[in-house]
Structure 1
């Protein structure tokens, strides 16, 4: 079966020639239910969790975005997502990787509808997210069963349909990789070995985490050159850190573009960068010869990030970040590598 996919990219509507991928966001969520990742707010705000996402409540929701139930899903606002994807297409965007996996609401039927209505290629992710979203049976599932499931999602269909995933991930890992997360990551490596497919990993939030995740994958037979490490911009913050990871051979994904906050609710010790700081790190990587190993996205997964709710939306990179990259000294050739060539190379099956 891998031979049938070799040299192709698999979207929810079928395979396409890599030349048709175009400008690509490598990590978004279009139909997510992020409520399993709800975070309790401070006690003084316990009565705020059911507040609607309105302008009157944004003062609080911006500070505690994972404590507002109304903010943690996109399934009830699919018309807004469709309109944003159309806007993305009108502004030159062509493809989006939907990184929603089992446990946080993945639904390939709805992704196919979004793709048909917007004209945007959507590549769906297979596999599992963080340990606390795993199904109850995960502890008793064997690695072989996990491999078979991931292969099935790509070769036969997912979510009870004949619609197929085009990559594995985002595969979730905690700061200290949990036993079940490690088992899933090792199964991912074997499925990647069998299929020659792209992989997307969600590392923990410590500087050590990206390298640890990639090592587990490689030791289990996975390939760095077909693997994107998500959320680099909330793990690695300086020249030495990004260059050290780049030497390992995987892709570095800066996927918090448009998220510029001082207080990161998941871990207030994490100094989230601004878009300017992200661009500076990307420029360092390009100057050191790693422009072939950088991809970018927004990781939109909360309602407040959509344009209709006051957010930057899926077109922020096109409208704002790419022009800023040019002003910052990155050439158009490098920008094209980051947004077109690198996603194409990564997403094409071996």
Structure 2
């Protein structure tokens, strides 16, 4: 199918969106959350509980402990095992569809327990279009084998996950990512970024990046992709709501041309354990950031989501669930001067443009 490095013929995916159930027309997507997890494990990010909190960290998840869990989600080991909640996630997806949701991009990659057969089952049983992610998460989850791979080998694996299927299945990924980077970006992560760019060049597919927790991280990841030939206009930078806070720095990054994703809606905590210098914004502040970017002319580049990756954010455990944006954030956006057309662009048109293979 591919002739020579960097040159591509037109794959069957061209002009389509690739879901776990097969190819669909871009117009079938509907409202789309571009950064979610439906089944994963996050043990790689476990944070030891504070002295005196060991009992809470080991206790079953209960309503009386909910506030502690919301403030310390990564110190409760069971909370990090979202893959145990398939039935609860199924119910969430049915509610999401009832609320007007159409599609979800499932960002679980190699290293955090991607489960494509479960994603296919969820898509069949709920009617929600699910797009799976190819590639690798952050360095701490890379196997020794992965670290030893060349860029060429990594490229071949990523391309195969999109063209033929991943994890020994025939279920094909429809995006590359979330590709994980730390700060500073490690050598293994740089190889994966370069492989991502090479695979994207061959496939014409969407890419999504997880930046390290430093204001320089998004720009550095984009620079590496760019130098390796990646298509930045078809690349999403995730987690900007916990990474770039200064408006001028945000605008400087926006000029690089990627999609700008605010994907932690529903997450409000006093102390962000992965970078204590960060003051995690509220949902109201996230909406203000969206309004600012729209005023600055970037409404075509904004994407939003919840990035649910722990149990406590499911409604089963008192969380906001996958319908929070549709039920609560959209009315807030409208009340703050963002128009319905702009909301539709962020939820429907921008995801459609990003997810369609060239």
Common fold by TM > 0.5: yes
Q: State the partner residue of 1:304.
A: 312
Q: Which residue of 1 aligns with 2:100?
A: 92
* 4+ long deviations beyond 4 Å: none
* Paired residue secondary structure (2:11): helix
- The SS at the match of 2:58 is coil
Q: Distance in 1 between matches of 2:278 and 2:16?
A: 38
CA contact (8 A) 2:259 2:301 kept: yes
Q: Deviations over 1:315-334 (max 9, x none)?
A: 00000000100000001111
SS of 1:43's equivalent? Answer: coil
Map 1:6-21 to 2 at 5 A. 6-21=14-29
Q: Tell me the CA shift for residue 46 of structure 1.
A: 3.5
Q: Is the 8 A contact 1:65 1:265 kept in 2?
A: no
Please list the CA deviations of residues 36-81 of structure 1 after superposition, one character each: whole Å capped at 9, or x if unmatched: 2212122333444322111132243222211111100122211110
Please say if residues 99 and 170 of structure 1, whose CA atoms lie closer than 8 Å, have aligned partners that are also in contact. Answer: yes
Instruction: Give the length in aligned residue pairs.
Output: 350
* Distance (whole Å) between structure 1 residues aligned to residue 216 and residue 83 of structure 2: 34
SS at 1:271's partner residue? Answer: coil
CA distance in 2, matches of 1:62, 1:134: 28
Tell me by how many angstroms 1:139 deviates. Answer: 2.1
Question: Which moves more between the two structures, 131-140 or 159-168?
Answer: 131-140
Of 311, 324, 329, 2:332 maps to 324
The residue that corresponds to 2:128 in the other structure is 120
Gaps of 5+ in 2: 2-9
Bigger Cα displacement from structure 2, 35-44 vs 271-280: 35-44
Measure, in 2, the Cα distance between the counterparts of 1:284 and 1:58.
33
Deviation of 1:18 (Å): 0.3
For 1:290 and 1:279, the matched residues in 2 are separated by 14
In the alignment, is residue 146 of structure 1 matched against residue 139 of structure 2? no
Are the equivalent residues in 1 in contact too, given 2:96–2:323 (CA < 8 A)? yes
Q: Residue by residue, what CA displacement relative to the aligned partner does 1:294-340 show, whole Å, maximum 9, x if unpaired?
A: 00000000000000101010000000000100000001111111000
- Kindly report the root-mean-square deviation, in angstroms, between the aligned alpha carbons of the 2 structures: 1.1
Matches within 5 A, 1:209-220: 209-220=217-228
**Does residue 1:188 correspond to 2:196, yes or no?**
yes
Q: Which runs of 5+ in 1 are unaligned?
A: none
Structure 2: how far apart are the matches of 1:291 and 1:245? 15
- Is 1:313 the counterpart of 2:321? The answer is yes
> In 1, Cα distance between the equivalents of 2:91 and 2:262?
25
Match of 1:135 in 2: 143
Separation (CA, whole Å) in 1 of partners of 2:323 and 2:346 = 16
Of 242, 257, 269, 1:261 maps to: 269
Q: Name the stretch that deviates more: 32-41 or 45-54.
A: 45-54
Map Cα deviations across residues 93-151 of structure 1 (whole Å, 9 max, x no partner).
00000000001010110000011111000000010001001122122111111000000
